[in-house]
Amino acid sequence: MPNRFEGRAAIVTGASRGIGRAIALRLASEGARIVANYHTQREAADAVAAEIERCGSQACIVQADVSRAEDVERLVEAALKAFGKIDVLINNAGITRDQLLMRMSEADWDLVLDTNLKSAFLMTKASVRPMLRARYGRIVNITSVSGIIGNQGQANYSASKAGMLGLTRSVAREVAARGITCNAVAAGVIDTEIWASVPQAAIDSVLGMVPAGRKGTPEDIAEAVAFLASEATAYITGQVLNVDGGLVMA
C-alpha cells in the first residue's frame, strides 16, 4: 500500500470508536501521524493509539470536548506541539439524540448542534491558521445523508449535518487560493454501535431503501476520507461525496 500520507499530521475528532477509529487507522496505515481526539472514552482511545503504533506510525491522544472553544485551542496546541503542523483535519465528532420534533427538548437540540456543527466550526477555525501559513491543508467533514434528505425523528441531527454542508462549501471558497481544500463525506446507513439498539424490523425497513441492500462499514467511509485527504485531490473542493450504497441519488 502506498504511503500517501508519509510525513503528514492529521487530527481526527471522535477517534475512539466507530467511523473516527476507522479513519484514524486508515490514515495511519499510509504513514500519517495521528492526533486522536476523544471526549470520554479514554480506554478506547488508548486502544486506537496502540493500533496506530502497530501500523508503524505515531499517535497522540488528546481528551477534549470539541464543542468548547477552550478545549479546541488546547487540542490544536497539543497537535502542533506533538507534530509541528496540521496537514489534515477530519471533523468526525458527532452524537444523536433522536426524538420527534414535538417531543424534542431544547437541551437535546442544543447538545446535538453544538457537538456536531459548532465543533466543526471551532476545529476548522483553529486548524486553518497553521494550514494558511503552510499553504497546504485538507479538511474533510463527516456529515450524513440525513442532512440531505432529512429523517423522521432527527430534526436536530439532520439540521446539524445539513449545516456541515453549508460550512464545507463556505470554508472551501474562503481558503481555496491558499492550497487548502474542504470537502465532506455524507455517510449512509453505517454499521456502528448506534444500530445495536434498533429493532431488526426497523433496520430491515431502512435497508429496503438502499440499492446495495446492506449497511456500509466504517471502513467504507474511511476509504472515501483517505481519498479526499490525499494530495491527489488538490482540484476537488467544496464537494460532498455520498457513501451510502445508493440511498441518495441526485
Q: What is the DSSP string of 219-235?
A: HHHHHHHHHHTSGGGTT
Write the DSSP string, 202-216. HHHHHHTT-TT-S-B
Strands 137-144 vs 180-187: parallel, antiparallel or unpaired: parallel
**Cell numbers standing for residue 142:** 463527516
Rounded Cα gap, residues 47 and 219, in angstroms: 17
Element (H, E) at 28: helix 18-29
Rounded to whole angstroms, how far apart are CA atoms 170 and 148? 17
Task: Give the Cα separation of 14 and 64 in Å (integer).
Answer: 9
Query: φ and ψ at 91, to 5 degrees?
Result: -90, 95
Candidate list 38, 136, 157, 235, residue with the active-site label: 157
Query: Is residue 157 flagged as an active site residue?
Result: yes
Annotated active-site positions, please? 157
